[in-house]
Amino acid sequence: MIWMKLGVFCLGVLLGSLLNNFISWWPQRETSSAGLRAVCPHCGHPWQGLETITLWGRLFAEGRCHYCGDHVPLRYILVELAAGILLVLAYSRGQGMLDVIRLSIFVLLLIPLMFIDLKHHRLPNILTLPGIALGLLLSAGLGQIKSAVLGALTGGGILFIVAVVTRGGLGMGDVKLQAMVGAFLGLRGMLVSLTIGVILGGIIGLILLALRLKGRKDMVPYGPFLITGALIVSLVIQTG
């Protein structure tokens, strides 16, 4: 069992290094010539073989780019670690093969959404829209299509109303993200995850204001709170 989990962790780290390529590529997708290949963020030299797994480089080499000697940014290692750990949780939590696949795909979509929203305040359609379709498809396979459709419509619907009422205080990316959460987690899971996200967002928002790290008018991306709520519901607490 422990070996299986170790194998799943390694698979997660491997997939995490691919997610890193995506996270680096997406903001410069219109100008980048490197495409989805792994390249050093400092010197642009393509990485090959084990160099693409930055966690490996951190543990067994100096954590520097082999070509320019610059340190690999912490984000690369965080993404690989997160993918490894979350995939192990998905594997432990899932009830049967298809459920494990559902949870795994869900967390592998949420990781790049989290990191891209934190840095660029965007939630790419290229992740959320196929995410909604995949969530519905996998839920249908698990016999939960009704709850998934209701979850997607309710999640997207509630946030759409908030986005309209606050006139852009919440973006359309958040609307599609919460529809995706509903498609994967069903109505009840989506509602619990939304509640956790809203509470978390309120607490962190107050702390940022109190510490004067952000002003009232500053833009704070809401996606990371919604994503944290979704991760807690899918991997930690039981809602059904």
The site for Zn ion (CB under 5 A) is made up of 40, 42-43, 65, 67-68
Least distance (Å) from Zn ion to the CB of residue 43? Answer: 3
Please name the residue ranges forming H helices in the chain.
Answer: 2-25, 54-60, 74-93, 97-120, 125-141, 145-165, 172-210, 223-235
With respect to Zn ion, which residue has the nearer C-beta, 28 or 195? Answer: 28
Least distance (Å) from Zn ion to the CB of residue 59? Answer: 19
- Beta-carbon count within 10 A of 26 CB: 18
With respect to Zn ion, which residue has the nearer C-beta, 70 or 218? Answer: 70
Contact 231, 113 (CB under 8 A): no
Buried b (16+ CB within 10 A) or exposed e, 179-217: bbbbbbbbbebbbbbbebbeebbeeebeeeeeeeeeeee
Least distance (Å) from Zn ion to the CB of residue 48? Answer: 13
* Closest alpha carbon to 21 in 80, 71, 82: 80
With respect to Zn ion, which residue has the nearer C-beta, 21 or 139? Answer: 21
Least distance (Å) from Zn ion to the CB of residue 63? Answer: 12
Token pair listed for 126:
């290229």
Least distance (Å) from Zn ion to the CB of residue 68? Answer: 3
With respect to Zn ion, which residue has the nearer C-beta, 65 or 86? Answer: 65
With respect to Zn ion, which residue has the nearer C-beta, 68 or 129? Answer: 68
Helix, strand or coil, per DSSP, at residue 120: helix
